[in-house]
Amino acid sequence: MPRHSPTPPSPSRLPGGLQPGILEDNISYLTRVVRSVAQQSAGDHLGKFELLGGQLTALALIAANEGVSQNDLTQAMQMKKSQMTVLVQDLVVREIIDRTPSATDRRYNALTLTPKGGRLWKRVREGLASHSESVLSVLELDERRQLVRLLQKLAAAHLGDALAAPGEDERD
Amino acid sequence: MPRHSPTPPSPSRLPGGLQPGILEDNISYLTRVVRSVAQQSAGDHLGKFELLGGQLTALALIAANEGVSQNDLTQAMQMKKSQMTVLVQDLVVREIIDRTPSATDRRYNALTLTPKGGRLWKRVREGLASHSESVLSVLELDERRQLVRLLQKLAAAHLGDALAAPGEDERD
DNA sequence: TATTGTTATACTCTATAACTATA
DNA sequence: TATAGTTATAGAGTATAACAATA
């Protein structure tokens, strides 16, 4: 369909039909758009579980790290501890996770999945995989690996820790 | 420093010292973390201009597409038109951009930089470049190109339009 | 009728600071 | 005193719908 936009005729590059200008290789802009796409897909695949953004990620990390503390979760997810409190509280009320003071240092809360949470996680896990698959499916297999590796490297370098695997285990 | 976390001892992978589990190659999680890093850097380099997230991007796109409509901007930035109205209004009040009905179709607003906006843009442009540079500097040059290309490809494929250049012009 | 843009509203996300409890 | 977690609050980001103006 032709547009009636007042934009002068020029080679289209962006969805709106505009030039990216200096934004072409800007990481903030690119991740903004990609994240918008990813969030849309996440909603499609995982909306039925009524897990708000961070809750889904938290669930995945608790499942992979039973007994993890809220403090460690906030670092891995790059969010504030006050935000984490609210997020965790809702999961506790819904009996998806348990939150118990650590035996060795009672300042820490150890987070674990409840049986109900474990069953939920099994279903969420499938949706999460199909969500990631649906977003990345437009890339070739080696492109996916490259993208994941580069994003991991970027994150790891700036967070000053080892997000990216030093030993690059191959998965698909 | 040793942690007192109740997390059982295991090979550390994430900032908090935990296993990524299924999130290792999850695009939502990875872009979440990378975007957090990018936003932090953007604040460091561009906070002084008092341009809220979208305003900075909008300014860049208006500079590259003088006379663009709000409607086309919303598509390129993946935001709602109601949000765009507020964003644009603030830039107009601050005399950074002009908003005038298009001569050919008065439903459209043509957005242009004011002289003041042009001067601001020159300064912002430098900050934007140094911001993107500081984030991407941890990658090799060919890695940067790859990352940008893959993010463009991902965005373009899902937005059903040509964000990524079909003809891949080489820039650095 | 369809589309651009505006307004109002609500909900989510994020950031900050003061507070507690444990160490 | 330092750290984990809580509470409260404010600000920014996002989504929805009703509306006016224009086509």
- The residue lying closest to nucleotide D17, measuring its CA against C1', is B82
Please list, in sequence order, all residues whose beta carbon lies within 8 angstroms of the beta carbon of residue B140, skipping any fewer than 6 positions away: none
Q: Residue ranges of the alpha helices (H) in chain B?
A: 27-46, 53-64, 70-77, 81-93, 115-136, 141-159
The pairs formed by B105-110 with CB atoms below 8 angstroms and a separation of 24 or more are B105/A4, B105/A6, B107/A4, B108/A4, B108/A5, B108/A6, B108/B69, B108/B70, B108/B71, B109/B69, B109/B70, B110/A6, B110/B67, B110/B68, B110/B69
Residue B41: closest C-alpha in chain A:
A28
Work out if A97's Cβ lies within 7 angstroms of strand D. no
- Res A166: pLDDT: 38
Give the pLDDT mean for A4-19.
Answer: 56
Beta-sheet strand order (sheet of B109-113) = B68-69, B109-113, B97-101
Q: Residue ranges of the alpha helices (H) in A65-162?
A: 70-77, 81-93, 115-136, 141-159
Output the CA angle A132-B41-B12, nearest 5 degrees.
Answer: 55
Q: Among B18, B41, B154, select the one facing A76 at the smallest CB separation.
A: B18
pLDDT tier for residue A21 given thresholds of 50, 70 and 90: very high
- Res B168: pLDDT: 34
Radius of gyration, alpha carbons of chain B? 20
Give the pLDDT mean for B143-167.
Answer: 78
Q: Among B21, B73, B160, select the one facing A16 at the smallest CB separation.
A: B73
- Res A6: pLDDT: 44
Q: For residue range B33-59, list pLDDT tens digits in order.
A: 999 999 999 999 999 999 987 999 999
Q: For residue range A40-57, list pLDDT tens digits in order.
A: 999 999 999 999 879 999
Q: For residue range B63-91, list pLDDT tens digits in order.
A: 999 999 999 999 999 999 999 999 999 99
Work out if A82's Cβ lies within 7 angstroms of strand C. yes
pTM of the entire predicted model = 0.85
- Specify the DSSP class assigned to residue A94: T
Flag if A72 and B3 touch (Cβ within 8 Å): yes
Mean of the per-residue pLDDT values of chain A: 86
List chain B residues with CB under 8 Å of A128.
22, 26
Q: For residue range A81-104, list pLDDT tens digits in order.
A: 999 999 999 999 999 999 999 999
